[in-house]
Each structure stands twice: as C-alpha cells, then as structure tokens.
Amino acid sequence: MINFQIQSDLSNIFNKAESGERLSFEDGIRLYESNDLLTIGKMADMVRKRKNGLKTYFTMNQHINPTNICRNSCLFCAFYRKDGEEGAYRMSLDTVRQKLEERIDEDIREVHIVGGLDDSLPYEYYLDVLRVVREVRPEVNIKAYTAVEIAYLAERSGKSWGAVLDDLMAVGLQAMPGGGAEIFSERVKRKLFMDKLSSEDWIHIHHLAHERGIRTNATMLYGHIESIEERVDHLVKLREGQDKSGGFLTFIPLAFHPENTKMHKLPQATGFDDLKNIAISRLMLDNFDHIKAYWVMLSTKIAQIALSFGADDIDGSVVEERIYHMAGADTAQMMTRKQLRNLISECGLEPVERDALYHIIQRDVA
C-alpha cells in the first residue's frame, strides 16, 4: 500500500475507500480539513471507476424557468424578483410552447423545469406547463419542480404533498430536480432562507416521490456561510435518506455565486474547493450511483478536471440557463452534442448519452 503523506495522512481513509467500507462523519471532516487534494481526488476517482468504469454521462436537455417571481427572499438568490420589479417575468403557456417549439428539431431527451413561488399563478398553471411539454414533446422525460415548489403547491391547493405529486404524475412528471436543499443546517436556514423547507421536510417530500416511482436528484449549496461540519452533516443525511428509499439518481454539488445577490461581498468558491466538494461527495455518498459536475456552474475546464475527481456526469446541452447566469455565471448557455462528447473523450473517458432517468440513448466509444 502506498503511504499517502503529502500534507496529511489519509492512508486509513484510502484503505476504507479501496475496500468499499463506508466513511464516517469524522472521516468526512478529515477530508475537508485536508489540503491534499490530489490524494482525495485519487480516492474519489477509484470509487468512480469502481461504480461506472470509464462511462461518463451527458444528456440533451432544455431548461425552462416559467417565472422568476417569488414570494421568498432568500439572501443567496440572484434569480428571484418581486412582482412588478425590474427583470421580473412570468411566462404564458403560449411562451412555454414557443420555447419548446423553437428547439423542436433538436434531439432533446429531458425538459428541466423550475421557477419561483409566484402567488399570481394558479395551481392549475403548474400542471398546464407539464401538459404543454407533453403535447409538444411526448417523447421527453419531464423533470420538474423542486421539493420547495411541491410544498408551495400543496399550500396553495390545500392538498397534501403526496396528492400534489399524484396530480403532477398524471400530467407527465417523471423526475424531480434536487434544488431547494441548500444546506441542511438550521443555523444557516435561519440566516439565509428562513421560508424554505427544513431538511426533514425536504427529504420526506423526496421519499414520497420515490414511493411513487418518481426518481429525484439531490444537491448541496456550498461556499457561503456554512461550516465544514455542516457540509458533512448534509452529505450524511442524504446518504441516510438514500439508504431508506434508494430513489436518488445523482448528487450535484452547487457552488454559491455571490454576484448580484445580497451576499455579493463574499468571495466566490475556488476551483480547489469545487474539486474538493465533488471528490468528497463521491467518497461520502457511497449509495449514490452518480455525481454530477455541472459544467454551467463550474466552467467546462473545471468540469473536465472533475471527471478525474469522482464525477461521472456533466449534465447536458441546457439550451437556456437563467438561475446561475443571473448570479453572474459567464459560461455558455448551450453546448452541442458534439461538444459534450468531445469534452468527455478528451479526458480519455467514454461518452454515454442518457435520458433524465439514466437510460442509455447512445454510447459513443471515444
């Protein structure tokens, strides 16, 4: 066994990772405290290859954000606006249809839908958006609405969380994004997003979705005021949730972008921190099949490096991304299938096209 002692001794954690033994909370803390990024990355890459080999996933997808008007005022959010404020918008159903039809000649496999909590929109509107997608693109997977939106729709309609999920399934919902989790810390929640769900409620809504056969993603927002202990606690709670339901598809670490937010004075997460979060996520979340390096957030260059630090998915074509770009992201808004394939194959990995549920569409051997 190689003795890993570059800046800290991680050899016992390496032995655990190599044997497939579950890492403890304390192991997670040690990984975050270590600056030995290359060793952490080596461990994560080992786990990634054990789970997925050289396969690296991407999809052809389209993002639709029907409204950015939101009754919440989360301090870290640059996307939301209040009704009547400059930059506020809500799409008519005709506009949703138009955006879908603009890309009708593209081989899109997933439509990803999230938006604000807009009190001017009726419950039925949220169902109608999915109906429009199903009418225009009957073949795609519909991945829509975070757990926060599900709870909001339940409150607006007077229905239970489960009943809302049943209604959405009836009009085409197949998967849910992982947004709204932020960081599972009551301390941070009180300071930054008081109106959002508790960690217990967020996980419970996802479990209700899993019981109905709706697969979901999970996220963590890092790089703001959270501690490393809160990061590890977040990962452990997700791991425990996956032990119970098994319905999570992939985990996406999301870096906080401070530009254009009420927290704009905070520094942006570094590439070092991005890679560390991806690698530690891969090591801690042993029961998650996939870890995503979201190129829109990371940049294509960091996303490529992340594929050697535990990530096995780079998301997709996206087409139009608003949430991160309103927070100052300067990445492109779209990538072609060829660009996605090349991004992966340049790393010596095997591009695998998937749908939202990780069904393989086409495998391209680099």
**CA-wise closest residue to 52 among 296, 315, 303, 292:** 292
Does residue 355 have a pLDDT over 80? yes
Q: Which residue has the higher pLDDT, 205 or 264?
A: 205
Strand order in the sheet with 313-316: 313-316, 55-59, 350-354, 360-363
Q: Round the average pLDDT of the chain to a whole number and report it.
A: 88
**What are the strands, taking DSSP E only, across the chain?**
55-59, 61-64, 110-113, 141-144, 173-176, 215-222, 248-255, 290-291, 313-316, 350-354, 360-363
Q: Calculate the dihedral angle through the C-alpha atoms of 168, 172, 174, 178, rounding to the nearest 10 degrees.
A: -50
pLDDT band, very low/low/confident/very high, at 260 (cuts 50, 70, 90): low
Task: For residue range 127-171, list pLDDT tens digits in order.
Answer: 999 999 999 999 999 999 999 999 999 999 999 999 999 999 999
**CA-wise closest residue to 196 among 209, 210, 185, 206:** 185
Does residue 13 have a pLDDT over 80? yes
Q: Which residue has the higher pLDDT, 96 or 88?
A: 96
Length of the chain: 366
pLDDT band, very low/low/confident/very high, at 238 (cuts 50, 70, 90): very high
Task: For residue range 339-354, list pLDDT tens digits in order.
Answer: 999 999 999 999 999 9
Q: Which two tokens stand for residue 225?
A: 């005021």
Does residue 190 have a pLDDT over 80? yes
Q: Which two tokens stand for residue 167?
A: 């209604």
Distance of CA 126 to the CA centre of its chain: 21
Whole-number Å distance between alpha carbons of 30 and 9 = 10
Strand order in the sheet with 215-222: 61-64, 110-113, 141-144, 173-176, 215-222, 248-255, 290-291
**CA-wise closest residue to 353 among 144, 116, 108, 132:** 108
Q: What percent of the chain has pLDDT over 70?
A: 86
Does residue 323 have a pLDDT over 70? no
| Beta strands at 248-255 and 290-291: parallel, antiparallel or unpaired | parallel
Whole-number Å distance between alpha carbons of 310 and 290 = 9
Give me the pLDDT at residue 334, please: 72
Task: For residue range 61-94, list pLDDT tens digits in order.
Answer: 999 999 988 876 665 566 666 766 887 899 999 9
Identity of the amino acid at 208: L
Query: What is the CATH code of the structural domain delimited by 21-363?
Result: 3.20.20.70
pLDDT band, very low/low/confident/very high, at 362 (cuts 50, 70, 90): low
Give me the pLDDT at residue 5, please: 47
Give me the pLDDT at residue 3, please: 47
Residue 139, C-beta contacts closer than 8 angstroms, at least 6 positions apart = none
Residue 328, C-beta contacts closer than 8 angstroms, at least 6 positions apart = 78, 257, 258, 259, 260
- The residue-averaged pLDDT of 332-337 equals 73
- The residue-averaged pLDDT of 18-47 equals 97
Give helix 271-284 / helix 25-33 axis angle, nearest 10°: 160
Give 26's Cβ-side CA count (13 Å radius). 3
pLDDT-wise least confident of 39-43, 149-153, 231-235, 330-334: 330-334
Task: For residue range 288-306, list pLDDT tens digits in order.
Answer: 999 999 988 898 999 999 9
- The residue-averaged pLDDT of 220-239 equals 95
- The residue-averaged pLDDT of 318-339 equals 58
Listed by start position, the domains of the chain span: 21-363
pLDDT band, very low/low/confident/very high, at 317 (cuts 50, 70, 90): confident
Report helix, strand and coil shares of the chain as percent, to nearest 5.
Answer: 40, 15, 40
Q: Which two tokens stand for residue 193?
A: 């997003």
Indicate the burial class of 366 (C-beta count within 10 angstroms; 0-12, 13-18, 19 or more): middle
Give me the pLDDT at residue 75, please: 57
**CA-wise closest residue to 329 among 299, 358, 364, 293:** 299
Helix (H) or strand (E) holding 168: helix 161-170
Whole-number Å distance between alpha carbons of 329 and 326 = 7
Q: Which two tokens stand for residue 215?
A: 């697969």
